[in-house]
Amino acid sequence: MNQPSLVIDNLELVTAGRIFRTASLRNEWYDFVPEPDAFVGKLRQAGCGADVFTFLQRVPQREPKFPYARDVESVSVLPITTYDEWWKKQIPDKTRNMIRKAGKKGLEIRVTEFDDKFLAGLKEIYDESPIRQGMRFWHYQKDLEELRRIHETFLERSQFIAAYLKDELVGFIKLTYNEGSASFMQIISKMSHRDKAPNNAMIAKAVEICVEKQVPYILYGIWSRRGLGEFKINHGFERFDMPRYFVPLTARGDLMIKLKLYRKATDYLPEPWVNTLATWRGRYLAYRYKSA
C-alpha cells in the first residue's frame, strides 16, 4: 500500500507497506540521492511515517561508498564506448541482422516530439493488449490526459525515439538522461509489427545518440535471465551488482534491517520456482483476458 508522497530537495518520495513501511525515491532509476547523510536528516525531520529509507547507488560506481546496511540490486547496464565497438563486438550476428531487417521492412527510426499526434499513437500501442510479458499491462485503455501526465515527467532531460511505418507509430523508447548515464524509462512496440524488429532498431538508435552525447552507460531495468533477459544480453547489456542501502528511521526500522524484512517473498525462492510461477501467471492472465 503506497502512502502520499513527500518532496525533499526536489526529490519525490513514496512510502509503501503496512506493518513495516519503507520510503524510497519515487523515480529511483532516474533520480539519485547526492548526499545521503544530509538527505536522511531532512527525511527524519519531515516525519514521513516510514521505518526505513532505501536508495540505490548511482551507476557505474559498484563499490559501496556509504556506511549503511546494504543488499545487492542487479541492474542491466550497457557500457558504451563507440557505436562501432557496440556493433562489431558487443552484439551477435542475430541482433545485427534484426536491426538490418527493420530497415528492409520499411521502418524509420527517429527522435520525435512529445505532442498530441505522438500521444495518440502511443495510446494505440498501449491499447493493443491488456497483457504484456505475461503480466497485466497497467497502461491499457487509460485516457489520453492520464497518459500525457504519466509521460511528461522528466521532459527537460528526455528524448523519445520512435519507430514509424509510414505515418503509423509502431514503437518508442523514452530515453531519460542522468548524470553519467541514460535510462530506458519505456521501451515498447506493437505486437502486430514484431516481425519488423522495431525494438532492436530503436536500441541501436539509442546507442548512436548516447555515443554522440558522450553518455557512457544505458540502464535497462533490473537484471534477470527470465523474460527480457536474453533480449538484453543480445544487445550488449551486462549485469551490474549495485549497492542498495537501507537506513533505519525508527526502532522498528532497526529490527526490519536486522531481520532483512525489506526483502520480497520471491527473493527467498529458488529461481526455477520463480520462473514456474511467472509462467503460470502468464497462462492465467492469457486465459482471463482471452477475449481482449
Pair 114, 188 in one domain:
yes
Neighbours of 13 (CB within 10 A): 24
As averages over each run of 10 residues, the pLDDT of the chain (292 residues) reads 71 88 91 91 87 93 94 95 98 97 97 97 94 81 94 95 97 95 96 96 98 97 79 96 95 90 63 59 56 54
Which residue segment(s) compose the domain that 103 sits in?
A: 81-215
Ramachandran region of residue 141, left (φ > 0), alpha (ψ -120 to 50) or beta? Answer: left
* Block residue for cell numbers 491488456: 130
Decide if 236 is inside a domain: no
Q: What is the CA radius of gyration of the chain?
A: 20
Pair 97, 209 in one domain:
yes
Number of domains in the chain: 2
Decide if 220 is inside a domain: no
Decide if 87 is inside a domain: yes
Pair 206, 164 in one domain:
yes
**Domain containing 177 — which CATH number?**
3.40.630.30
Pair 85, 209 in one domain:
yes
Decide if 235 is inside a domain: no
Residue 53: which of 24, 31, 25 has the closest Cα?
A: 24
Residue 132 confidence (pLDDT) = 80
Neighbours of 258 (CB within 10 A): 10
Looking only at Cα atoms, what is the longest distance across the chain? 61
Residue 275 confidence (pLDDT) = 58
Question: Pairing state of beta strands 158-165 and 168-178?
Answer: antiparallel
Pair 65, 189 in one domain:
no
Q: Residues 102-131, buried b or exposed e (16+ Cβ, 10 A)?
A: beeeebebeebebeeebbebbbebbebebb
Residue 115 confidence (pLDDT) = 96
d(CA 45, CA 26): 19
Residue 1 confidence (pLDDT) = 46
Pair 168, 269 in one domain:
no
Number of C-alpha atoms within 13 angstroms, CB side, residue 172? 26
Pair 20, 51 in one domain:
yes
